[in-house]
């Protein structure tokens, strides 16, 4: 299999626009998309507001996937909030970390990222999931780190690379333009179809959730999921893409000659 279905979803701590807390609804939205790789943002682990549930683990169990969670925010020893990567494909974690930002100066959320190397058929795909701050200057600071030598500029972050998440950066602003100078906006190149917004969930007007691609891959499908359940389960809509990495597949090893020593 050289094609992977990849989903990015800000789940809003599994609280819907109707204020109902329900990891089950989020799991159903994801399951209906049948993804191979899932990048989630705004996950609660051990927080009183969400019943002290480990949402990352609960969602992984419901979906039959393995999960790695990174807490960008820690409140005491047991209360965490952050992002996750889930998959049923073979993978290894390369890096998880908190990004620089304004949280040490003003009251804003710390932000983080996760980098996993996922085996899609014979191709090693680098998947980096992030959730950037809300201010363009802070986003540019965070992108400088993510595009630098410890993350996407690392020698082991070889193409193909899928960089995705909630960037809080619509097209036209400097953070978006910075990314567009190095990556392909998968929504934008998908045929002649107009790229669709992802936020807010009920009546989306902003395109701030993105899937960026670096390296050769064929875009087979792009969809902003707007089912009735998706429109209420979170304040964001999921973004789903199908990418075919066949161009990066390793050639089969030649058979040994008959009679060779």
Q: pLDDT, tens digit, for every residue of 158-191?
A: 999 999 999 999 999 999 999 999 999 999 998 7
In a 3-state reduction of DSSP, which class is residue 240? strand
Instruction: Write down the pLDDT at residue 248.
Output: 65
Q: How does pLDDT run across 22-69, given as a tens digit for each residue?
A: 999 999 999 999 999 999 999 999 999 999 999 999 999 999 999 999
Residue owning tokens 């691609």: 213
Domain boundaries, the chain: 3-248
The closest of 97, 140, 113 to 40, measured between CA atoms, is 113
Please state which of the ranges 97-101, 231-235, 238-242, 253-257 shows the lowest mean pLDDT: 253-257
Task: Give Cα 1 distance to the centre of its chain.
Answer: 21
pLDDT in tens, 4-29: 999 999 999 999 999 999 999 999 99
Indicate whether 118 pLDDT > 90. Answer: yes
Please state, in angstroms and rounded to a whole number, the distance separating the CA atoms of residues 198 and 9: 9
Spatial neighbors of 100 by CB under 8 A, at least 6 apart, are 141, 142, 145
Report the C-alpha gap between 236 and 12 in whole angstroms. 8
Q: Are 236 and 131 in contact (CB under 8 A)?
A: no
State residue 109's pLDDT score.
86
- Which CATH number, 3.40.1800.10, 3.40.50.300, 1.10.1240.10, 3.60.10.10, labels domain 3-248? 3.60.10.10
CA distance from start to end of the chain: 34
- Cα 70 to chain center, whole Å? 12
């Amino acid at each position: 299999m050289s094609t992977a279905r990849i989903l990015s979803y800000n789940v809003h701590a599994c609280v819907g626009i109707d204020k109902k807390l329900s990891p089950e609804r989020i799991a159903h939205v994801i399951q209906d998309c049948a993804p191979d790789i899932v990048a989630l943002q705004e996950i609660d682990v051990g927080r009183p507001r969400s019943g002290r549930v480990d949402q990352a683990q609960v969602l992984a169990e419901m979906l039959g996937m393995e999960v790695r969670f990174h807490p960008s925010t820690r409140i005491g020893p047991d209360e965490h909030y952050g992002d996750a990567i889930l998959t049923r494909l073979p993978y290894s974690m390369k890096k998880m970390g908190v990004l620089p930002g304004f949280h040490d100066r003003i009251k804003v959320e710390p932000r983080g990222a996760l980098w996993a190397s996922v085996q899609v058929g014979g191709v090693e795909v680098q998947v980096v999931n992030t959730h950037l701050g809300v201010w363009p200057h802070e986003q540019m600071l965070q992108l400088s780190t993510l595009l630098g030598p410890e993350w996407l500029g690392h020698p082991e972050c070889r193409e193909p690379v899928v960089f995705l998440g909630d960037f809080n950066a619509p097209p036209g602003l400097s953070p978006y333009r910075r990314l567009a100078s190095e990556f392909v906006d998968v929504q934008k190149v998908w045929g002649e179809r107009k790229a669709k917004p992802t936020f807010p969930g009920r009546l989306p007007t902003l395109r701030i959730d993105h899937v960026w691609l670096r390296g050769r891959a064929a875009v087979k499908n792009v969809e902003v999921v707007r089912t009735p359940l998706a429109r209420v389960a979170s304040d964001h809509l999921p973004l789903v893409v199908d990418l075919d990495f066949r161009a990066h597949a390793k050639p089969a090893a030649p058979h040994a000659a008959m009679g060779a020593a």
